[in-house]
């Protein structure tokens, strides 16, 4: 005798606003640790190179190693852990992240450091993907994008507080101390998740085959492409911000961290604004973010010789770029149907690809002799390209919806066959 499936809604009592707030804060703390470890290596490459006896360009490969871990780990972990409880998965991912960073602290050789950075990067995309789904679930339909934005806020705050703090520690006490700080943040996140994350028994789990179904949905690929193209423009700007300010604007090196902090503050504001916009309309949130990013990047290139304009626009670019993240994450959740975990995790693979592509294109145009204004102009063009991809995605979705409605209407109008029994 088979029993009817238990409805998990009956298993989970309503959560209080306080429980929701603390749970989302715990998720954001994990994002803070991930953001810190992702970007702190950029400022400590000379220290790493000197300690391990390699050149600085060679030491720079540890950044690529982390990104490789993100790109590989996001889809792999999301698919293979589809049946695992979301709460258990989040705690497990943060444990893996903390172990990867502990191995980074202890790595005695360059080769083992590279391996440690890959391990530290593996949980990155899956953690953010699952965290976004959990935050949206906890907040409910009306406030889901704002909740996603709050989780991503941890990543933005890391650029303002975590990275400068870890960089200062790394320069003062050695680069290993910077990653030891990340280990501490990881341990605190594990404790916070255990303490504050509810059981989440009302969140449906899937299976690997269902999750892999995201890869055959065109709208998933369109949304990922929007992230790669549109966000690549912001990374083209950010990678060469230091050189642009010191060579074209003519500001002192001591003012470059101010510009980067303004960029980070813009990202913090962008996650909040983006969540509000996406809760009103997801496509509108993406569109406004991309247009604002393109305009800000173009203005930065045109007014780069003015220090005040450059500083102000650094904030504006961070704000407009980050404002697209909650909307992109929410759209992936919408178009993935029952494969949301993999789709949400893939968003962070896409953003890491955007990082690599943006930095590469920026380097190409500088090497071609176009100067340090060029990456921002290329970034503006990429933002426009992101808008075009969005328009194609929406048009394709509309055509598919019209075709499906037409097919349903035609089926409804077919005469019903009647079987007559003769006497």
pLDDT digits 0-9 by tens, 179-216: 999 999 999 999 999 999 988 877 777 777 877 777 78
By C-alpha distance, which of 311, 318, 37 is closest to 156? Answer: 318
89-124 pLDDT tens trace: 999 999 999 999 999 999 999 999 999 999 999 999
The Cα angle at residue 144 between residues 142 and 145, in degrees rounded to 5: 110
Short-list 229, 258, 231, CA closest to 246 = 258
Could you report the per-residue pLDDT of 218-271, keeping only the tens digit for each? 899 999 999 998 888 887 887 778 778 888 888 887 787 788 888 889 988 998
Do the Cβ atoms of 94 and 30 come closer than 8 Å? Answer: yes
- From 92, 338, 84, 265, select the one nearest 193 (Cα to Cα): 92
59: buried, middle or exposed (CB in 10 Å: 19+, 13-18, 0-12)?
A: buried
Question: Which tens digit of pLDDT belongs to each residue from 343-380?
Answer: 778 887 888 788 778 878 888 888 888 888 988 999 99
The region of weakest confidence among 72-81, 183-192, 299-308 is 72-81
pLDDT of residue 140: 80
Q: What is the 3-state secondary structure (H, E, C) of 162-227?
A: HHHHHHHHHHHHCHHHHHHHHHHHHHHHHHHHHHHCCCCCCCCCCCHHHHHHHHHCHHHHHHHHHH
Domain ranges of the chain: 13-205, 208-400
Class for the domain spanning 13-205: mainly alpha
Residue 2 has pLDDT above 50, yes or no: no
Q: Which residues contact 301 (CB under 8 A, 6 or more apart)?
A: 373, 374, 376, 377, 380
Averaged pLDDT of the chain:
84
Per-residue pLDDT at 27: 94
Q: How far is CA 259 from CA 91, 262, 323, in A?
A: 35, 5, 19
Superfamily of domain 208-400: MFS general substrate transporter like domains (1.20.1250.20)
Distance between CA atoms of 299 and 295, rounded to whole angstroms? Answer: 6
What pLDDT score does 333 carry?
Answer: 80
Domains 13-205 and 208-400 share a fold: yes
pLDDT at 157: 85
Q: Does 416 score more than 90 pLDDT? A: no
What is the structure's pLDDT at 123? 93
How confident is the model at residue 94, as a pLDDT? 96
Asked if residues 151 and 135 have their Cβ atoms less than 8 Å apart, the reply is yes
pTM (2 decimals)?
0.76
Read off the pLDDT of residues 131-174 as tens digits, 9 standing for 90 and up: 988 988 888 877 888 888 888 888 878 878 888 888 888 888 88
User: What torsion do the CA atoms of 172, 174, 176, 181 make, to the nearest 10 degrees?
Assistant: -10
């Amino acid at each position: 005798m088979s029993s009817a499936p238990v409805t998990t809604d009956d298993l989970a009592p309503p959560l209080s606003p306080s429980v929701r707030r603390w749970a989302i804060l715990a998720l954001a703390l994990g994002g803070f640790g991930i953001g810190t470890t992702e970007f702190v290596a950029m400022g400590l490459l000379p220290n790493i190179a000197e300690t391990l006896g390699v050149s600085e360009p060679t030491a720079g490969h540890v950044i690529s190693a982390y990104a490789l871990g993100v790109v590989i780990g996001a889809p792999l972990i999301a698919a293979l852990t589809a049946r695992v409880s979301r709460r258990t998965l989040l705690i497990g991912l943060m444990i893996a992240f903390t172990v990867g960073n502990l191995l980074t602290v202890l790595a005695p050789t360059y080769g083992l450091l590279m391996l440690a950075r890959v391990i530290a990067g593996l949980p990155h995309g899956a953690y953010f993907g699952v965290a976004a789904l959990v935050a949206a679930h906890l907040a409910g339909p009306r406030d889901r994008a704002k909740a996603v934005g709050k989780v991503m806020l941890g990543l933005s705050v890391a650029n303002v507080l975590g990275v400068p703090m870890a960089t200062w520690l790394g320069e003062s006490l050695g680069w290993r101390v910077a990653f030891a700080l990340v280990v501490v943040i990881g341990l605190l996140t594990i404790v916070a998740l255990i303490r504050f994350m509810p059981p989440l028994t009302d969140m449906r789990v899937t299976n690997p085959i269902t999750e892999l179904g995201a890869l055959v949905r065109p709208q998933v690929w369109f949304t990922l492409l929007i992230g790669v193209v549109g966000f690549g423009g912001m990374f083209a700007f950010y990678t060469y911000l230091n050189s642009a300010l010191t060579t074209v604007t003519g500001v002192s090196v001591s003012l470059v961290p101010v510009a980067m902090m303004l960029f980070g503050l813009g990202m913090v504001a962008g996650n909040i604004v983006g969540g509000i916009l996406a809760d009103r309309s997801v496509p509108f949130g993406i569109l406004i973010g991309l247009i604002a990013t393109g305009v800000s990047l173009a203005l930065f290139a045109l007014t780069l010789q003015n220090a005040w304009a450059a500083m102000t626009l650094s904030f504006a670019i961070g704000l407009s770029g980050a404002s697209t993240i909650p909307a992109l994450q929410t759209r992936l959740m919408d178009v993935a149907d029952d494969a949301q975990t993999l789709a949400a995790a893939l968003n962070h693979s896409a953003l890491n690809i955007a990082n690599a592509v943006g930095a590469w294109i920026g380097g190409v145009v500088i090497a071609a002799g176009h100067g340090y204004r060029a990456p921002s102009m290329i970034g503006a063009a990429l933002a426009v390209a992101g808008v075009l991809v969005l328009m194609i995605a929406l048009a394709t979705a509309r055509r598919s919806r019209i075709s499906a409605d037409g097919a349903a209407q035609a089926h409804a109008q077919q005469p019903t066959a009647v079987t007559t029994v003769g006497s």
